[in-house]
Structure 1
Amino acid sequence: MTLYPTRRAILLTAAGAPLALAMAVAAPQLWVAAGAWVVMAAGLMLADALLSAKPAAATLAVSAPRTAGVGRPEAAEVTAASEGGAPQQVEVALGGNDRLAVSPVRQVVRLASGSARATFELAPGRRGEGRLERVWARWQGPLGLVWRQREAAPAREVLVTPDVQGVKEEALRLFARDAAFGMKAQLETGEGSDFHALKEFQTGMDTRAIDWKQSARHARLVAREFRTERNHHVILAIDSGRLMSAPLAGLARVDHAINAALLLAFVGLKLGDRLGLFAFDSRPRVASGVTAGAQAFPLIQRLAAEIDYSAEETNFTLGLTTLAGRLDRRALVVVFTDFADPTSAELMVENVQRLMRTHLVLFVVFRDQELEDLVRAEPKDADDVSRAVVAQALLRQRDAVVGRLKRLGAQIVEAPAGELGPALVGAYLDTKRRELV
């Protein structure tokens, strides 16, 4: 239980100072009246404390989800109740650890039938074990001179995971959109090399698809129908080193990469391909074999949640060499990484080039909106000019590396962080249509 004065009590006590000074000047023998004013104010505060609701009669309960996707706001509810002498309103606050941002800072709620509920928004900023560590409720006495406060430790854990719900929602939107325009059907039939079925030839179909033997047997033109190959191996290689732990658009870059990778995994498993996950920083951290079927998505999700934030520099040579040694057939390797200096970029390009001798590499590049904004912003002082020059140099270096990867034969996906997932899925579907794997 905590007891302390309100702003009104402080102003009431301070109001006696001018009065005491005036009396001391006019009649020095009445200086004791100043002490009487302080005693009176203290008496009023004591009476207010005795008349207010007792903290022992107040109870605080917290309701929050057990899991939350990183970057996806969730709601937590605090219930404050008092058995007797309940105040008219209560000010409630909720505190979380560094992985959970709570807003608003505090709320004032009115009690009805002795209880009140306050809803807070939880903003998971980093994956891991989030905790709601403290909940506070305070109220004033009937005179408004004293705060009485009750504090509790709910010790409620909220596990912050990759945003799987957002991944599934985005995947459903993509499937619904593609189905409306026939894209889903095209992926199944028409543009692949695997024989699917025979169908009657129709105007507009490729004449090279006509099966003349079957046409003679059926006494009408019959064409072969093909479907896109399945069972391709798709490896999601995520760099989890120091640079990927830097924030971008409100989340760490590695979290954006994980969300995009999970979206691709969800779509790829649905379309019949085999998916694997690989993460590395200074050394390999997560490595799975390839798996198939929609029922394998929870496994990919669990392994993605184990990718931790790292402060170590990325060792591209060890990471990508280890990955290449695990692959026993040609695969589509999707590389999520970032680079900041020519040395790391050179090492990265050298090892990606070695990987491309056998495999198709899809290289994912984060489009840094912050750097582009710095370049386009109108300079107002010398510091703005310096920032613009540095940002332009970084963008130029990034473009040079991307151009070099394109010349080597890598497929490039470059998009803002918020649009990375759909752009990656589009590039993946394009590789399937073109049968590049």
Structure 2
Amino acid sequence: MIRPTLRCVLLTAAGAPPALLLGVIAPQLWFLGMIWMPLVLALAALDALLAARAPALRVECPGAIEIGAPLIVDVHLRSKPIAGLELALAAGPRLAPRAEGRIRLARGENQASIAFIAVRRGTERIEAVWSRWTGPFGLIWRQRIEALDRRVVIAPDIRPVRSSAHVLLRDAQAGEMARVDRGEGSEFEALSEWRSGMERRTIDWNHSARHLKLLARENRIERNNQIVFAIDTGRVMCEPIEGLPRVDRAITAALLGAYAALKLGDRVALFGFDSQPRVSSGTVSGVRAFPLMQRLAGELDYSTAETNYTLALATLAGDLTRRSLVVIFTEFTDPTGAELMIRAAANLLRGHLVLFVILADDELEELAGAEPAAIDDVSRAVIAASMLRERRLVTARLRHAGIHVLEAPHREMGAALVRQYLDFKRRNLL
């Protein structure tokens, strides 16, 4: 495919003013003004004939990527480098190009890297690679489209699991073989001689009086607790926060919490819902079950439906056969939906420990606290402040009902969730 460059268009248009001026000054020579356009067209045709042949390209692309992570696609030239060669990739909407999405090779280069950002989970295709280059005069573009049909699987983000899970669990695990199960739990492990630095509340006074020396109780951290991660995938949770949907931020935090629970010997389940329950897994245990949790989290689809808390939490309560920690990732905007959510959560609270996890909305905070420069800024600030006020009222009502609420920025959500879970274990609330 051949197209004129901007230089060719401007050069063609540049002949119009002299031709018009010639027609006014010397009307009998008007035909000389018609010579310019055929001359430019002839040069463009010559430029097309002298342009380099289409390059042979080889594209290397990863088969899987995590949402929010950069996807780097390498394009190699298997033929002679072409000066000024431009490359671009045609990809689906789940892959957002960084910068312009088009790269220009410098003289002598035979490799280029084109970066995308994965913004939605699922399977996406890189459909084609576009290449174009100019002739020696720079008057025409020669363009080629080569079909690729490379598939890229966009999975939930588990980078926090790889990078920070062991650091977060370091304080919860003793780390020494002799103390692997001992901690601040509720199950009795053994008696040991009390030493300076140990808490006085661990002293067993009856056995100390019998043996005529201070003895302390060492407890075992209780295991085999059941934790359910319930993720709302409704319309509000699919709204983006700093480029990624809230539900994907929630999935990342839930997977980090699930890994921590599996690592500490607890049982984990996943529950997804919007207008009705969508995903309901059984409880699993052991770190080897984490890939299953990751796969089930990847099956949570984006939804445009309103969340039905009554149906979802009632179904979840019916599926639970023992006391569990239910971690609910959700977002609320209207008072009516929040009222139904509170009632459904209160019913769930009768037999379980309930924790609501809410992403802090930095955008609303900025709008409410920004200094107004125009009347529209005042309107935005008033609306944002009203939404924040309603949000705080709902949070206060949840806490008043005995429900735990965790609110943190998305960057800190996973770590905050793990710390909250460990705090529940230390306080023997599970």
TM class by shorter-chain length?
over 0.9
Structure 2 vs 1, CA of residues 383 and 65 (structure 1 numbering), >3 Å: closer, same or farther? same
**Which aligned pairs between 1:210-225 and structure 2 lie closer than 5 A?**
210=203, 221-225=214-218
Structure 1 residue 62, shift from structure 2 partner: 2.1
CA distance in 2, matches of 1:179, 1:343: 40
- Residue type at the aligned position of 1:107: I
Letter of the structure 2 residue corresponding to residue 410 of structure 1: I
Please tell me whether the aligned partners of residues 272 and 292 of structure 1 are also in contact (alpha carbons under 8 angstroms).
yes
Within 2, Cα distance between the matches of 1:34 and 1:302?
Answer: 70
Question: Could you tell me whether the CA contact under 8 Å between 2:174 and 2:181 is conserved in 1?
Answer: no
- What amino acid does structure 1 have at the position aligned with 2:283? V
Moved more, 15-24 or 327-336: 15-24
Give distance in 1, aligned partners of 2:43 and 2:167.
64
Is the CA contact 1:80–1:137 (under 8 Å) kept in the aligned structure 2? no
Aligned: 1:97 with 2:64? no
Structure 1: 5+ residue stretches without partners: none
Residues 154, 180 of structure 1: alpha-carbon distance in 2 compared, 3 angstrom cutoff: same
Q: 1:179 to 1:275 in 2, by over 3 A?
A: closer
Q: 1:267 aligns with which of 240, 249, 260?
A: 260
Q: CA deviation at 1:241?
A: 0.8
Which residue in the other structure is 1:107 paired with?
Answer: 103
Shift of 1:221: 4.8
Does 1:126 find its partner at 2:120? Answer: yes
Equivalent AA in structure 1 for residue 70 of structure 2: P
Instruction: Please give the residue correspondences for 1:155-304 in structure 2 after superposition, counting only pairs within 5 Å.
Output: 155-175=149-169, 178=171, 188-207=181-200, 209-210=202-203, 221-304=214-297
Measure, in 2, the Cα distance between the counterparts of 1:110 and 1:248. Answer: 37
Could you state the TM-score of these two structures normalised by the residue count of structure 2?
0.93
- For the Cα contact (< 8 Å) 1:66–1:159, is it kept in 2? yes
Report if the CA contact (8 A) 1:192-1:227 is conserved: yes
| SS of residue paired to 1:132 | strand
Alpha carbons of 1:41 and 1:208: their partners in 2 closer, same or farther (altered >3 Å)?
closer
SS at match of 2:323: coil
Looking at structure 2, the residues matched to 99 and 208 of structure 1 have their Cα atoms a distance apart, in angstroms, of 56
Using the TM superposition, name which of 264-273 and 33-42 deviates more.
Answer: 33-42
Q: What is the rounded CA distance, in whole Å, between the counterparts of 1:199 and 1:182 in structure 2?
A: 19
Gaps (5+ residues) in structure 2?
A: none
Aligned letter for 1:35?
Answer: M
AA of the residue aligned to 2:71? E
CA RMSD of the aligned region, Å? 2.5
1:179-217, Cα deviation, whole Å (9 max, x unpaired) = 799999999423111123343321233455456787799
Q: Please say if residues 52 and 87 of structure 1, whose CA atoms lie closer than 8 Å, have aligned partners that are also in contact.
A: no
Note the C-alpha offset of 1:224.
Answer: 2.8
String of CA shifts for 1:101-141, please: whole Å, max 9, x gaps. Answer: 112321111353xx621112110111111221232111111
Pairwise mapping of residues 33-432 of structure 1 onto structure 2 (< 5 A)?
33-55=32-54, 58-82=55-79, 87-105=82-100, 106-110=102-106, 112=108, 116-175=110-169, 178=171, 188-207=181-200, 209-210=202-203, 221-432=214-425
CA deviation vs aligned residue, 1:354-400 (integer Å, no higher than 9, x gap): 00000000111221111111110011222211111111111111111
Cα gap change, 1:190 to 1:28, in 2 (>3 Å): same
Distance in 1 between residues matched to 2:187 and 2:283, nearest whole Å: 22
Secondary structure in structure 1 of the residue aligned to 2:14: helix
Post-superposition shift, 1:219?
Answer: 8.2
Query: Structure 1-normalised TM-score?
Result: 0.92
The verdict on how the C-alpha distance between 1:251 and 1:131 changes in structure 2, with shifts beyond 3 A counting, is same
Q: Is the 8 A contact 1:87 1:141 kept in 2?
A: no
Q: 1:185 to 1:317 in 2, by over 3 A?
A: farther
Of 211-220 and 327-336, deviating more is 211-220
